[in-house]
Structure 1
């Protein structure tokens, strides 16, 4: 390696020096490469192993690498879902002294996938709609902080499963710009039109390759981001007026935003000249309402929809054991120890890379409910877990690190190994009351 190599990094990881920066990225030896599915990119991107993690390495120019690195760090400080920047590597040369392209290094987001890897054979309309809805939420969050993306697309986004929905994470920020004074309506509409056109093109490309269901309409799906974005933007930032006698609508607005997963740090309330009409408008909106509550109560860091689902289960647990009057944090700790953690521990170790623990718990509750509907009886949690692991989880592909063709269905049957469900508490109905899931 040339002695002029320059590494800019906020992380003090000496292992960065062990990667073959004096070799063109396309020629890196296989022992350094991690086989993960890649999205479509105008740049050469490779995944590599680094200190027990996986990083994405993208060839670009020195100016663009430094600009994107700084932007991603800023977005992280603003708590925007995005990939974590690791380093910028410049002054690369090969063994003969020839210049090599600078690279941007980012940490791979575990359990995340590019949109093309989220379906096995054909993309169904409901899956496409959920992806577009997740991207609309991300775009709204970016616009609220004054970020103009400039290249909104499914390809520049990673998706993680979030309790039956998806959470979107920004991957490519090289065209983005942050405006301190916020975005104009024209800038927001420009980004929205870029998103609509890019999504339509991506879905039409899949359609041309026979990769979408017959009933999927790429144009209709892409138009959906416009409606989803505008509805959410209006709810989060729009003002509304009502009579003074309807002051209850203030709490209703706040609760509605909380249900959407957002918190209000400030609410502007004004009266008209006659004092008979109130006008309210959210001033600062923060995403992650349920995430923060779950983290505060249990220490679990999950997706927003996952947090909402786990909190619903916690509330059902409190109601079933008549613990509403008890300290919320103490009951949450009890639920964590008696319900959530035993389920996670009972999943066989070789299957824990399939999904995140919170997503496994969500799917288990779904599976338990379907079993109850089919069999017409209450299903004990341990019985539901055994069935879920053997009938569902065992046949999912590993999403922590997906190996092989991302759109190829898994056909190899895995050996049947029953999970250890002995750690899951089975409550005696005559003792404390039999806990039942409330959906």
Structure 2
């Protein structure tokens, strides 16, 4: 079978890569060095036309299957890497067949968990990673996706304000259904527990875990976080008819968690004056969508929440409470967000995403103001942040330069 590249229209140079050479033997000039997680397959990062692609060597059946799954997950707006193409019909110089390859778009500003934990990880950092993984697993299950191999190794993490956002990077064992069964859901949690326990033991053996962290408790806590969030999103709530305001409170709690409610199913409990209420949660990203609608900024959920808080403060500070929200958002973008980000020197701006930069500058302002006993103002905080914090931060973007 001749060499064939199947996928969405993209970079024509992809077909010119050395597909007749096993991936682990590719010459360095085709590759870019980026942190990568543990994988049972050979994975390399290639750079073409200013973009970075992750390439995984895998059998043709699984390459095509994972490509379709990732395509469906992206269509459903589920956090996962973006599929680009599948390469089949590979043959080595000796005429022997080579495994196929799955090509995905590299997720900029993302890191595998081992890169996040490059030093001795603190309990606070680990908790934020576990929260992100629990949220990802819940979102996948709400979509009807059975993972089959949930682990920290199969996830990429991006900074999201003071937290992390998790993205699925390996769907090889997954299945997409109209609705996930209870058995599949419970098995996924059990697999997650086993995998994460093993990963924590591995980190402990390498001296990368804080002495206060117990590997088994970490695995237990992921499952507990998952169950708590799943219950909040899907469980029935019984209320008295006179307590209808509790439904509004439930919706607000779900919005705070970042989820939107499409409809509520309400029925009377037989023989009582009480109602059984079940929310239908359809989408995560409540704050993302609101910010995108108002400003056009497409950011992570917690970043969106922080930016919306600053927008609301801007509205109050300038006496714009009764002004149209879209007009206020336009003024905030033009007078606060863009000028603040553009204050950062061009050579340092690529270190973090603009939304993350803005969030960290707001944090820096808060800490400086606390120390000074009064508001130091955003310009002074930005100047201090750039000189004392940002210059020492590592780059979290894939830096691509043309040869």
Q: Is the 8 A contact 2:19 2:90 kept in 1?
A: yes
Alignment of 1:270-349 (within 5 A): 270-273=267-270, 276-349=273-346
User: Does residue 383 of the first structure (1) align with residue 377 of the second (2)?
Assistant: no
Q: Is 221-230 or 15-24 further displaced after alignment?
A: 15-24
Task: Give the Å deviation of 1:31.
Answer: 1.2
Counterpart selection for 1:218 from 215, 221, 241: 215
Counterpart selection for 1:44 from 39, 42, 65: 42
Q: What is aligned with 2:255?
A: 258
Q: Output the TM-score relative to the length of structure 1.
A: 0.89
Q: Output the CA distance in 2 between the equivalents of 1:167 and 1:266.
A: 26
Q: What is aligned with 1:416?
A: none
Say which SS state the counterpart of residue 198 (structure 2) adopts. Answer: helix
Task: Give the Å deviation of 1:274.
Answer: 5.3
Q: What is aligned with 2:162?
A: 164
Task: Choose between structure 1 and 2: higher helix proportion.
Answer: 2
Q: What is aligned with 2:195?
A: 198
Q: Is the 8 A contact 1:236 1:285 kept in 2?
A: no
Q: Is 341-350 or 102-111 further displaced after alignment?
A: 341-350
Task: Give the Å deviation of 1:17.
Answer: 1.9
User: Does residue 398 of the first structure (1) align with residue 401 of the second (2)?
Assistant: no
Q: What is aligned with 1:352?
A: 349
Q: Which runs of 5+ in 2 are unaligned?
A: none
Q: Is the 8 A contact 2:368 2:376 kept in 1?
A: yes
Q: Output the TM-score relative to the length of structure 2.
A: 0.97
Q: Is the 8 A contact 1:148 1:183 kept in 2?
A: yes
Q: Is the 8 A contact 1:140 1:233 kept in 2?
A: yes
Task: Give the Å deviation of 1:402.
Answer: 7.4
Q: Is the 8 A contact 2:233 2:281 kept in 1?
A: no
Q: Output the CA distance in 1 between the equivalents of 2:362 and 2:343.
A: 15
Q: Output the CA distance in 1 between the equivalents of 2:316 and 2:134.
A: 35
Q: Is the 8 A contact 1:6 1:91 kept in 2?
A: yes
User: Does residue 247 of the first structure (1) align with residue 247 of the second (2)?
Assistant: no
User: Does residue 228 of the first structure (1) align with residue 216 of the second (2)?
Assistant: no
Task: Give the Å deviation of 1:363.
Answer: 0.6
Q: Is 343-352 or 331-340 further displaced after alignment?
A: 343-352
Task: Give the Å deviation of 1:85.
Answer: 0.4
Q: What is aligned with 1:141?
A: 139
Task: Give the Å deviation of 1:62.
Answer: 0.1
User: Does residue 128 of the first structure (1) align with residue 126 of the second (2)?
Assistant: yes
Number of residue pairs matched by the alignment: 400
Task: Give the Å deviation of 1:276.
Answer: 2.0
Q: Output the CA distance in 2 between the equivalents of 1:402 and 1:321.
A: 40
Q: Is the 8 A contact 1:84 1:106 kept in 2?
A: yes
Q: Output the CA distance in 2 between the equivalents of 1:345 and 1:176.
A: 42
CA root-mean-square deviation:
1.4
Task: Give the Å deviation of 1:273.
Answer: 4.2
